Structure 1
Amino acid sequence: MTLTSQLTVGVAAFDRYLAICHPHKYALVITRSTSNIMCILPWILPTYVILGPMLGWRNWYPGIPCSFDIIFPKSLRATAYIIVYIVSIITAILYLPVLKTAWRYYQRMNKYQQNQTRDHMQTTNKMKKAILGAKVTGIVTIAFSIFWLPYMTLSSWIMVSPTAKSKLESDLANWLVFFGASNSIVNPIIYAWKRPDVNQQFKKVFCGSKPVSHVEHIKT
């Protein structure tokens, strides 16, 4: 779940980077095939990790309590943690030019807001939508780090520590897993808070109401 969440955030950050920093190349890069690959990619490695134990890999003898350490060896856990850290760093690097471009955009819009043509207003609305998507992805990334970083840090320390894992460390790691998993509950709240179009689609699906244009709800 951690891998899937972080890889999804990384893919979304790459999408927002192209949309804001290279808008003219976006349609050429993000095609239907590319979008399908980006949607499937975050699930490939986690599925591979999960299928092993489900198919009988790393079985243990009867009478031995089931433990995460028994099912997933250190090499597999280390690989997963390294991937999460690398994707987190790449996501942060991608957001630097996104923030820089967004800041320049707001400065330019404040200066020329009164002299916009119709075509320019359409371009402005598209850029606002792209920046809004980047804001949401950024908030989701920060929330992911807050919820999962404690567990990742403790697990990394336990894995490299020369001493055996104590009961306190084991209990704390178990509670931090639940804390990290609660991130999945927070994400829908973030999208409902920052994306009015999400609220409109929910109303359309569950209440049958007509959705309002997303442009009318864009917030800066």
Structure 2
Amino acid sequence: MDQMNDELNSTYLTFGGHVDLHKYKFLYFVIMLTIYILILCGNLGIFCIICIQKSLHEPMYIFIAALLLNSAAFSTNIYPRLLIDFLSNQQVISRSLCSLQSFIYYSLSGSEFLLLSVMAYDRYVSICKPLQYATIMRKRTVNILLVFSWLAPACQLVPSVIMSSSLKLCSFTLNAVICNNALSKLYCMTSTTIYLAYGVFILLTTVLLPMLFILFTYSKIFIIAIQSCREVRNKAAQTCLPHLLVLFSFSCLCSYDVIIARLQIDFTKTARLIMTLQIVMYHPLFNPIIYGLKMKEISKHLKRLFIRPKITGF
């Protein structure tokens, strides 16, 4: 009997990061469902506008569409499971499904940084090498960059998933509401050295290196813009500012995930819940707002969609 219980415990994990769930579960459910609908409508709405409008079939807008699609996929990986847990009597998940959610979570997070790197490169070529832009940013190049941005993080995570599947669990309660870096705390520490070292390698290649590339690229754009005419400075401000806002927002929120897993800082359960919800709420929710308001061409099409021209009588 004890052996059967051990096998059951090793198969299922419990989410222990919820706060007053039984008391506020319907409130949590309504709020998170509303946010999820807004995220899907905002991201997929602008994605569809970019796809439909031929005037937006340029590399810059194609990369924005890819980023918004990435945000929608990221949210879909999190919210349906979270909404089910809010209404369930027990917040449990199988180990295999938890590993899958964690894999998609970090794969799409890595894709976010790579897409932002690609967008920074696109802006660099457009502003610093305008005469060569059409030659460099061909359709084939754009497609290769998009495929690389989505496949590279996923491929890097495959060895990590294989290693984690063979690790023994010493605890079965996640101090979280989603399957994220909290998983690393469940493994028996005697067998996680290679796993944690590989995690640092992934962090360096999918987060730190892209961030350094983005900062270097935008510093070059900034220098060129200062030395150029007012028109170039305005173009740089209009097209680069939204990307920098998204990068700053996403980097700040992702840093929490790293702090929890790598620095072993012990936050209260309420603080953990708030920070986790910020990661899955703010960035996917504000991405379409930032690009919808700050990108002039997208904003123009949104106004045409929602503000109908007045019909004057004769």
Q: TM-score, normalised by structure 1?
A: 0.66
**Inter-partner Cα distance in structure 1 for 2:297 and 2:152:** 31
1:52 deviates by 7.2
Are 1:185 and 2:307 matched, yes or no? no
Counterpart AA for 2:240: A
**Inter-partner Cα distance in structure 2 for 1:173 and 1:48:** 29
In structure 2, do the counterparts of structure 1 residues 75 and 176 end up closer, same or farther at CA, with 3 Å as the change threshold? Answer: farther
Are 1:46 and 2:153 matched, yes or no? yes
Contact persistence 1:8–1:42 (CA under 8 A): yes
Contact persistence 2:160–2:199 (CA under 8 A): no
Instruction: Look up the SS of the partner of 2:209 in the other structure.
Output: helix
Counterpart AA for 1:101: I
Which of 283, 294, 302 aligns to 1:194? It is 294
Contact persistence 2:225–2:236 (CA under 8 A): no
Instruction: Look up the SS of the partner of 1:14 in the other structure.
Output: helix
Counterpart AA for 1:181: V
Counterpart AA for 1:145: S
In structure 2, do the counterparts of structure 1 residues 89 and 50 end up closer, same or farther at CA, with 3 Å as the change threshold? Answer: closer
How much identity, in percent, do the aligned residues show?
17
Contact persistence 2:256–2:275 (CA under 8 A): yes
1:42 deviates by 1.4
**Inter-partner Cα distance in structure 1 for 2:198 and 2:246:** 26
**Inter-partner Cα distance in structure 1 for 2:202 and 2:159:** 15
Instruction: Look up the SS of the partner of 2:165 in the other structure.
Output: coil
Match for residue 136 of structure 1? Answer: 242
Unaligned runs of 5+ in 2: 1-107, 175-181, 310-314
Contact persistence 2:113–2:211 (CA under 8 A): yes
1:197 deviates by 2.0
Contact persistence 2:156–2:202 (CA under 8 A): no
Deviations 1:136-179 (A, max 9, x none): 21222222222222332443323xxxxxx86x488866653432
Match for residue 221 of structure 2? Answer: 98
1:85 deviates by 0.9
Deviations 1:171-210 (A, max 9, x none): 8666534322331212111112211322333456x65969
Counterpart AA for 2:249: A
- The count of corresponding residues between Structure 1 and Structure 2 is 185
Match for residue 162 of structure 1? Answer: none
Counterpart AA for 1:19: S
1:139-218 alignment to 2 at 5 Å?
Answer: 139-158=245-264, 168=267, 175-182=274-281, 183-202=283-302
Are 1:18 and 2:140 matched, yes or no? no
Deviations 1:63-98 (A, max 9, x none): 962662169932442122112011111110111111
In structure 2, do the counterparts of structure 1 residues 63 and 150 end up closer, same or farther at CA, with 3 Å as the change threshold? Answer: closer
Q: TM-score, normalised by structure 2?
A: 0.48
Unaligned runs of 5+ in 1: 110-123, 159-164, 211-220
Counterpart AA for 2:239: G
Match for residue 183 of structure 2? Answer: 68
Deviations 1:34-58 (A, max 9, x none): 0001112111133336667999971
Contact persistence 1:53–1:59 (CA under 8 A): no
Counterpart AA for 2:275: L
Contact persistence 2:221–2:236 (CA under 8 A): no
Contact persistence 1:17–1:94 (CA under 8 A): yes
In structure 2, do the counterparts of structure 1 residues 50 and 174 end up closer, same or farther at CA, with 3 Å as the change threshold? Answer: farther
**Structure 1 vs Structure 2 CA RMSD:** 3.7
Match for residue 211 of structure 2? Answer: 88
**Inter-partner Cα distance in structure 1 for 2:308 and 2:157:** 40
